[in-house]
Amino acid sequence: MKTTIFEIEGMNCEACANTIKALVEKEPGVQMASVSYGKQHARVLYDPKLIEEERLVTAMQKTGFRVVGRG
């Protein structure tokens, strides 16, 4: 398993964070996601054998949010 923190722009409220969390957790290979509106980031625990980071980025950006960094 791997954990990556994604820096996200465009979140305006907790509902935005919940939307991102729900989208990411639907992806295959994702075990858990926590999204912080206050910190403007998402922490995702996933299996890199089942899903690539780029697919996670695509899922987060689906609704107009922007991933601006990873760590």
pLDDT at 11 (0 to 100): 93
Please write the tens of the pLDDT for every residue from 11-43: 999 999 999 999 999 999 999 999 999 999 999
Enumerate the domain spans of the chain: 2-70
pTM of the predicted model as reported, rounded to 2 decimal places = 0.90
Distance spanning both ends of the chain, measured CA to CA: 15
d(CA 67, CA 25): 16
3-state secondary structure of 45: strand
The pLDDT score that the predictor gives to residue 3 is 97
CATH architecture of 2-70: 2-Layer Sandwich (3.30)
